Structure 1
Amino acid sequence: MSIWWSLHLRREAASVPLARRLLLGTMETAGVDPDISFDLSVALSEACANAVEHGGDERAGVSSSAEYRVTAYLDGETCRIEVTDSGPGFPVVRGRRGALRSVHSTAEDGRGLGLIEQLADHVHYRNRPGRGAVVSFDKILKWREGALLKVS
C-alpha cells in the first residue's frame, strides 16, 4: 500500500502547523517510527516556513503568490515531500558541479534549508523559471511492528 496527498495552502504562518499535523497523523496511522516522523515533520515545517516567507512575488499581485503546495508520498520504504511556491526562486549560487546550493550556515537566512539537509536523506532545490521554487526531500522509513505500509 502507498499513500500520497497534496495540499494547497495559503501563504500564512497558520498553514505551517496544519501541514505538519497532517503529515504526523498520516505517518502515525501508517505505522512509521516516531523518530522518523518527527524528523520529517520538522523538515516539512522549515520548508513550509520558507514558502510562507519567501514564496510569493509581491510585485505580481496577490493572486499569483497567495498559495503554496505541499505534496507527500509514502511508498514502500521511502517518504518524499515536495513544497512548491510561486516566488522568485532560490538565488543562483553555483557550486562546483553547477547545481544550486544552500546559503552559508552563518547567513541570516537559509538556516532552515540547512536543517532540512540534516534531517532528510536526500534534498533537492530547484527553480521553476517564472513560476517559483521547489524544495523536495526524502527519507528512508523505519516502521513500528504491525505497520500498515511496512515492506516485508
Structure 2
Amino acid sequence: MSVAKAIATQEASWLHGLSGLFVKPARLQIAALCFRSGDSEPEVLLVSTRESGRMILPKGWPEKDRPACETAIIEACEEAGVTGKVDPRPIGSFRSFKGLSDGLRIRTKVLVFKIRFEKQLKDFPEKGQRDLVWLPLSEAIDAVDEPSLRRFLRKHRSSIT
C-alpha cells in the first residue's frame, strides 16, 4: 500500500469515528392512541401539527416526575380535550422526527399508550390550534403522514379495541 493511500485511509477512519460524536440519540416522546367504538371498526383520533398541518397522534415530551402513561393522557387532553382510561403499559413504539419552529428536525422514539375515549371537553389548552378528526382505523392509517406511524397502526390494528 502506498504511503498516500495509507494516510488517506487513516484520515477517512478518523473522520468516520469523529462523525459519531455528532449523531445524537433519538429523544423520547409520548403519544396517545385515543380510540372509541365505531360502526364497523374502532375509530382513532388524529390531530394536526401546529406548524405543517400533518395528521398525527397527540404527543409530547415526557412530563418530569410522572409516569409515561400520565403524559399520554395529559397530551390527549391538552391537544384535543380528550379524557379517558389509559392503559398503563405502552402498546409499542415507532421512530419519528419532531419538527422545531426554527426548521430543525430531531429524531425521536415515540412510545404509544392506548386511551379508551370517555368524553371530549368543550374547552382545552390547544383548542383552535389544531384540526381534530375521528376516523375509522383503516381510514386513519391512510390519513397519517408519517410512514412509520402508518406501519405502527397496521401492525397493532388487532390490539386497538
TM-score of the superposition, structure 2-length normalised?
0.23
Higher strand share: 2
Q: Which has the larger radius of gyration?
A: 2
Q: TM-score, normalised by structure 1?
A: 0.24
